[in-house]
Chains A and B, each alone.
Chain A
Amino acid sequence: MRLLSPIKDHHSERRLFIGRVVIASVVSFVLLGLVTARLVQLQVFDHELFAEKSQGNRVRIEAVPPIRGLIFDRKGRVIAENLPAYQLELIPEQVDDIDDTLNRLAAINLIEAADIPRFRALSGSSQQFKPVTLKFRMTDQEIANFAIQRPRFPGVDFQPRLVRHYPYGELFAHAVGYVGALDTNDVQRLELARYAGTSHTGKTGVESSFENDLQGYAGYRHLITNARGRNVAANTTELLDSLPTDQTAAPGSNIYLSLDVDLQQVAYNALEGRRGAVVALDPTNGEVLAMVSSPSFDPNLFAVGMSKDQYNELQNDLDLPLFDRTIRGTYPPGSTIKPMLALAALATGATNLTRKSICRGYFQLEGNEHRYRDWKPNGHGPVDLHDAIEQSCDVYFYEISNDLGIDNMHEYLTRFGLGSASRIDILGERPGVVPSKEWKRNNFRDRDNQRWYHGETVIASVGQGFMLVTPLQLAVAAGTLGNRGTRYRPHLVAAVEDTLSGDRVLVQPESLENVAIDNSFYWDFVLEAMHSVMQGPRGTARAVGTGAPYQMAGKSGTAQIVSIAQDEKYDAEKLLERQRDHALFIAFAPFDSPQIAVAVIVENGQSGSGVAAPIAKAVMDQYLGYGKNATP
């Protein structure tokens, strides 16, 4: 054991140490002296003030929730508003027996027994004077019923509050979204000072993505309350003077959408409740004009609160009403990509304007028996590129697919915005897939699966196989075609308005990288073919386009979701309804200077030109002023 080392001088060391201890003691006295001085200040000099604050009349701070910003359509019609409604509230510190009170409220059907544990937990929070909302909107009958029994429920009362209301109901349920009660996730995520007194927050769509603009800032006011938490009038001026100043709440900003209520209505009606989606946008600036996912649901259910059963019913519905098909539904694009592939093939030299194929109704790779079928069993006969688009000949594209190659397809389709998020201004978008050799290498484990096969290029040329896109991406692609390659980022919000000053900040169109195909004759050729699809003598959708008062262009798609065994006839009757082909259509109009681009998908609709094209036409009619009840 080494007690000492020879260099140490113990006496001087100890002297030094004692000196330091003396200094430390002085510092200690100073520190505790500070605390003592503070205590004297609080308990002697300011005693009166604090005594008044704590005894008898107590200062209570009440949050004043901000008014949530409104949401309008492009013509200033209200899509989301705040309506006064009576809500049932419980103030924990005024209730002697919370369990008993909740049970008795359930017994008279004002609350559901299943919610009691949640309310009990809420009532246990630290700030006992804060009201807990038991029911967000009471019906007149419930108010009458409760009013008679109110004396039996001390600490429970109904209060007028603003509740979010969506006058168009299910029409904008996905795009605009809804607000719902704050949950524990929100509480961790949000800046709570802004939410004092607020019970709801945006959960989906614009309501969620623009929460920061819509919410505003909470204010607060100081109340003088007695021991039971009730407000009492201030009886002394000193007491009033001792109150800190109140702060008014700052309302949230209003939001103007580029959506059009009438157009949305037409699109929604045209879908007739079938599973599907419609997206329409202005190709000259990226403004989304209509955005419908069907079937839909009533967003007011979320704002007001619904029972567990109601929620489970929505959640478990096979038709997925809560699912936003416009940005989260991914579908094989089918033949809708043919105009884009035609441009790619022209630009890369994989085909030319005069090349012809003889379509016999099927295509075979060399040395392989497998028949890749055309949709027309007996074939189209001799077709050039124009015919191949107009009549949607699959065999022509099968034949050029090898020369074009999957990586060129990937390159050009990606330039049109397929297979990657469009960066629209609401959250939750899915990217989809446009496959390439590299994609396959990175996304499969198995060596054999990582390899790209010839046959996969063949089916990719008609938008089948791995390819998956969203209706929104298709609408952007349709607009880009109509615009000859000029692209804009799609957006729903057109302007944000400061509620107090009325100043509006307009959202500027944001250009995206153009689809660079320099030869304008290629564009003329392909767009003319799309024109023929709708208004040519042999176009697949001529039944829809012929006789229209304006010129339009489009492309149908019918996407297989079930593979058909060789030599088995496609028989819609035999397939279950949910295994039938998806019907797709993209279109833009007017042909010369497009103002609207549309993408339609009807799940299991079987025929792109027969089922999806009329929906696209109805939307374009409405927007261009030829609708049934249009106001041009």
Chain B
Amino acid sequence: MAKMRLREPQRLFSPGTPPLRDFSGIVRRFNIDGPLLSGLLLICVFGLFVLYSASGEDSHLIVNQAIRLSVALVAMLIVAQLPPDFLRRWTPWGYAAGLLLLLLVLTKGDVGQGARRWLDVGIRFQPSEALKLAVPMMTAWYLHDRHIPPKIGHLAMITLLIAVPTYMIAKQPDLGTALLIAASGVIVIILAGMSFKLLFGLGALTVPGALVLWNFMQDYQKQRVLTLFDPDSDPLGAGYNIIQSKIAIGSGGLFGKGWTNGSQAHLEFLPERHTDFIFAVLGEEFGLFGVLGLLVLYMFVIGRGLYIAVQAHDTYSRLLAGSISLTFLVYVFVNTAMVTGLVPVVGVPLPLVSYGGTSMVTLMMGFGILMSIHSHRKLLPH
């Protein structure tokens, strides 16, 4: 173990050292991971530039987004101060509370755009957001003091832990989020060493599973899948988004049309251009190089996350860090693949770039956990 440091348990203000001595000191004291934070900030700043153009140069909207970003960063810092052991002990309670909130949503939630996703307790929020962290935490907690790789019985138990919230969220209906949450749990199992034989066996079962899912889907969701295979079949309806976003990206070429010069975006051909389809604006205005630049930043963040996971000292931290990093990858992949027409249009925003605050806070809290895991490593007896 190369980079092992022996440190005192973290305290925010230790009386011995004068406060704010130097930058790295601050960073260390607040349990911040410098490389991760840098990567995230670069993505966010790049994102604000794209958003400014995508929103039709609406500075009011940019200020809004910046405020949300700040709130999310503060949330990240707060989470980073919570030691992993503390998180682990509270995990089952958090998970149970999450399920309870979901139950409340299904019975008492506010309906918006045909789905019941919101809960109003002073502030309106989506409990499914909390589950994005609670599910991987719970699966990691369950595996923490069990044999690794997990036995069949344990796998069944974990499947149940993942399936219950997934089902409840799919019922809202919010299939996109449900799939992402299921993915975050499944990633934990895979990282825990579930045998590939079993995995591929189950993978083979997805064919009948997909048929069941097809019956579960609302008409508009079926339409999205069908439109993927043939967007020209419904050029005014569901296919419109994909057609226009492909035109936007394709017309951007290698270097793009230049910042705020995208005709697809600015002549309002591209729908949802500052939310789910912002990646198309990026492609149109910054070209292939701009897009690849952003993807590299994402890769850096994911890579740093996996590095933190590998460095982690206990099962819980390891699995959780791995899951958070790889789930982030799933977000990036699903959004970019959707905007480029590789997968159906599922309402997944481009993380840290799309306009909208709900998911940003959850994402940043996830990175806060990564930071906490990294800075709270302990020297362990081997």
Closest 3 CB pairs of A and B: A50-B250, A54-B251, A42-B250
Contact in complex: A28, B337 (CB < 8 Å):
no
The 0/1 profile, CB within 8 Å of A marked 1, for residues 229-258 of chain B is 000101111000000001111111110000
The 0/1 profile, CB within 8 Å of A marked 1, for residues 310-328 of chain B is 1000110011001000100
Instruction: Indicate if A11 sits at the interface (CB-CB under 8 A).
Output: yes
Contact in complex: A51, B253 (CB < 8 Å):
yes
Contact of B149 among A16, A18, A49 (CB under 8 A): A16
B247 shortest CB reach to chain A, Å: 5
Contact in complex: B148, A35 (CB < 8 Å):
no
Instruction: Indicate if A147 sits at the interface (CB-CB under 8 A).
Output: no
A545 shortest CB reach to chain B, Å: 58
Q: Which residues of chain A in 177-230 are interfacial with respect to chain B, using CB atoms and an 8 Å cutoff?
A: 192-193, 196, 220, 227
Contact in complex: B190, A24 (CB < 8 Å):
yes
List chain A residues, Cβ under 8 A from B299. Answer: 28, 32
Instruction: Compute how far the CA of A206 lies from the CA of B47 in the bound complex, rounded to whole angstroms.
Output: 55
Contact in complex: B268, A128 (CB < 8 Å):
yes
Instruction: Compute how far the CA of A42 lies from the CA of B244 in the bound complex, rounded to whole angstroms.
Output: 12
Instruction: Indicate if A63 sits at the interface (CB-CB under 8 A).
Output: yes
Instruction: Compute how far the CA of A19 lies from the CA of B195 in the bound complex, rounded to whole angstroms.
Output: 12
Q: Report whether over half of chain A's contact residues are helix, strand or loop; otherwise say mixed.
A: helix
List chain A residues, Cβ under 8 A from B333. Answer: 31-32, 35
Q: Which residues of chain A in 345-365 are interfacial with respect to chain B, using CB atoms and an 8 Å cutoff?
A: none
Contact in complex: B249, A50 (CB < 8 Å):
yes
Instruction: Indicate if A441 sits at the interface (CB-CB under 8 A).
Output: no
List chain A residues, Cβ under 8 A from B234. Answer: 193
> In the complex, which residue of chain B has the Cβ closest to the Cβ of A46?
B250
List chain B residues, Cβ under 8 A from A127. Answer: 236
The 0/1 profile, CB within 8 Å of A marked 1, for residues 67-101 of chain B is 00000000000000000010001000000000000
The 0/1 profile, CB within 8 Å of B marked 1, for residues 587-608 of chain A is 0000000000000000000000
The 0/1 profile, CB within 8 Å of B marked 1, for residues 31-63 of chain A is 110111011101110110111011100100101
Contact A35 to B253, CB < 8 A, known contacts A28-B326, A42-B246, A220-B236: no
A102 shortest CB reach to chain B, Å: 20
Instruction: Indicate if A548 sits at the interface (CB-CB under 8 A).
Output: no
Instruction: Indicate if B306 sits at the interface (CB-CB under 8 A).
Output: yes
Contact in complex: A54, B248 (CB < 8 Å):
yes
Instruction: Compute how far the CA of A596 lies from the CA of B234 in the bound complex, rounded to whole angstroms.
Output: 50
Contact in complex: B249, A42 (CB < 8 Å):
yes
Instruction: Indicate if B164 sits at the interface (CB-CB under 8 A).
Output: no
Instruction: Indicate if B134 sits at the interface (CB-CB under 8 A).
Output: no
Contact in complex: A54, B310 (CB < 8 Å):
no
List chain B residues, Cβ under 8 A from A11. Answer: 382
B101 shortest CB reach to chain A, Å: 28
> In the complex, which residue of chain B has the Cβ closest to the Cβ of A126?
B271
> In the complex, which residue of chain A has the Cβ closest to the Cβ of B378?
A3
List chain B residues, Cβ under 8 A from A196. Answer: 236-237
Question: Which of B11-19, B52-60, B286-294, B354-362 makes up part of the contact surface?
Answer: B286-294
Contact A20 to B193, CB < 8 A, known contacts A7-B147, A63-B236: yes
Instruction: Indicate if B336 sits at the interface (CB-CB under 8 A).
Output: yes
Contact in complex: A51, B236 (CB < 8 Å):
no
Instruction: Compute how far the CA of A58 lies from the CA of B252 in the bound complex, rounded to whole angstroms.
Output: 15
> In the complex, which residue of chain A has the Cβ closest to the Cβ of B339?
A35
Instruction: Compute how far the CA of A192 lies from the CA of B306 in the bound complex, rounded to whole angstroms.
Output: 46
Contact of B337 among A20, A35, A44, A55 (CB under 8 A): A35
Instruction: Indicate if B342 sits at the interface (CB-CB under 8 A).
Output: yes
Contact in complex: B145, A39 (CB < 8 Å):
no
Instruction: Indicate if A8 sits at the interface (CB-CB under 8 A).
Output: yes
Q: Which of B236, B271, B287 has the most CB of A within 10 A?
A: B236
Contact of A50 among B192, B251, B315 (CB under 8 A): B251
Contact A17 to B295, CB < 8 A, known contacts A35-B336, A39-B288: no
Instruction: Indicate if A241 sits at the interface (CB-CB under 8 A).
Output: no
> In the complex, which residue of chain B has the Cβ closest to the Cβ of A35?
B336
Instruction: Compute how far the CA of A296 lies from the CA of B319 in the bound complex, rounded to whole angstroms.
Output: 74
Contact in complex: A58, B269 (CB < 8 Å):
yes
Instruction: Compute how far the CA of A84 lies from the CA of B21 in the bound complex, rounded to whole angstroms.
Output: 82
Contact in complex: A17, B292 (CB < 8 Å):
no
List chain B residues, Cβ under 8 A from A520. Answer: none
Instruction: Indicate if A565 sits at the interface (CB-CB under 8 A).
Output: no
Instruction: Indicate if B340 sits at the interface (CB-CB under 8 A).
Output: yes
Supply 11 A–B pairs (Cβ within 8 Å), ascending by A.
Answer: A5-B146, A8-B147, A17-B191, A24-B322, A28-B329, A32-B299, A35-B295, A35-B333, A49-B250, A54-B250, A192-B237
Contact in complex: A32, B295 (CB < 8 Å):
yes
List chain B residues, Cβ under 8 A from A244. Answer: 232, 235
Instruction: Compute how far the CA of A4 lies from the CA of B145 in the bound complex, rounded to whole angstroms.
Output: 7
Contact in complex: A43, B329 (CB < 8 Å):
no
Contact of A24 among B147, B191, B382 (CB under 8 A): B191
Contact in complex: A55, B315 (CB < 8 Å):
no
Contact in complex: B267, A51 (CB < 8 Å):
no
Contact in complex: A44, B191 (CB < 8 Å):
no
Contact in complex: A39, B291 (CB < 8 Å):
yes
List chain A residues, Cβ under 8 A from B159. Answer: none
Contact in complex: B236, A61 (CB < 8 Å):
yes
Instruction: Indicate if B283 sits at the interface (CB-CB under 8 A).
Output: yes
Instruction: Indicate if A387 sits at the interface (CB-CB under 8 A).
Output: no
List chain B residues, Cβ under 8 A from A8. Answer: 145, 147-148, 315
Instruction: Indicate if B302 sits at the interface (CB-CB under 8 A).
Output: yes
Q: Which of B187, B271, B292, B303 has the most CB of A within 10 A?
A: B292
Contact A43 to B283, CB < 8 A, known contacts A21-B191, A28-B329, A54-B264: yes
Instruction: Compute how far the CA of A55 lies from the CA of B247 in the bound complex, rounded to whole angstroms.
Output: 10
Instruction: Indicate if A25 sits at the interface (CB-CB under 8 A).
Output: yes
Instruction: Indicate if B263 sits at the interface (CB-CB under 8 A).
Output: yes
List chain A residues, Cβ under 8 A from B149. Answer: 16
Instruction: Indicate if B332 sits at the interface (CB-CB under 8 A).
Output: yes
Contact in complex: A20, B250 (CB < 8 Å):
no
Contact A47 to B251, CB < 8 A, known contacts A1-B85, A2-B145, A35-B333: yes
Instruction: Indicate if A89 sits at the interface (CB-CB under 8 A).
Output: no
List chain A residues, Cβ under 8 A from B315. Answer: 8, 13
> In the complex, which residue of chain A has the Cβ closest to the Cβ of B299?
A32
A155 shortest CB reach to chain B, Å: 15
Instruction: Compute how far the CA of A24 lies from the CA of B318 in the bound complex, rounded to whole angstroms.
Output: 14
> In the complex, which residue of chain B has the Cβ closest to the Cβ of A11?
B382
Contact A193 to B236, CB < 8 A, known contacts A34-B342, A43-B250, A54-B247: yes
List chain A residues, Cβ under 8 A from B314. Answer: 3-4
List chain B residues, Cβ under 8 A from A44. Answer: 253-254, 288
List chain A residues, Cβ under 8 A from B247. Answer: 50, 53-54
Instruction: Compute how far the CA of A47 lies from the CA of B319 in the bound complex, rounded to whole angstroms.
Output: 42
List chain A residues, Cβ under 8 A from B162. Answer: none
Instruction: Compute how far the CA of A36 lies from the CA of B295 in the bound complex, rounded to whole angstroms.
Output: 9
List chain B residues, Cβ under 8 A from A47. Answer: 250-251, 253-254
Beyond the given pairs A16-B148, A31-B333, A39-B249, 6 more chain A to chain B contacts, judged by CB atoms under 8 angstroms and listed by A's residue number, are A1-B89, A3-B380, A31-B329, A44-B253, A193-B234, A193-B237
List chain B residues, Cβ under 8 A from A42. Answer: 246, 249-250, 283, 340
Instruction: Compute how far the CA of A61 lies from the CA of B337 in the bound complex, rounded to whole angstroms.
Output: 25
Instruction: Compute how far the CA of A43 lies from the CA of B322 in the bound complex, rounded to whole angstroms.
Output: 33
Contact in complex: B283, A39 (CB < 8 Å):
yes
Instruction: Compute how far the CA of A44 lies from the CA of B288 in the bound complex, rounded to whole angstroms.
Output: 8
B171 shortest CB reach to chain A, Å: 21
> In the complex, which residue of chain A has the Cβ closest to the Cβ of B341?
A38
Contact of A20 among B145, B190, B295 (CB under 8 A): B190
List chain A residues, Cβ under 8 A from B302. Answer: 28
Instruction: Indicate if B309 sits at the interface (CB-CB under 8 A).
Output: yes
Instruction: Indicate if A93 sits at the interface (CB-CB under 8 A).
Output: yes
> In the complex, which residue of chain A has the Cβ closest to the Cβ of B190?
A20
B306 shortest CB reach to chain A, Å: 5
Contact A35 to B342, CB < 8 A, known contacts A8-B145, A28-B326, A49-B250: yes
Instruction: Compute how far the CA of A184 lies from the CA of B336 in the bound complex, rounded to whole angstroms.
Output: 33
Contact in complex: B250, A24 (CB < 8 Å):
no
Instruction: Indicate if A10 sits at the interface (CB-CB under 8 A).
Output: yes
> In the complex, which residue of chain B has the Cβ closest to the Cβ of A62?
B236
List chain A residues, Cβ under 8 A from B287. Answer: 43
List chain B residues, Cβ under 8 A from A93. Answer: 267-268
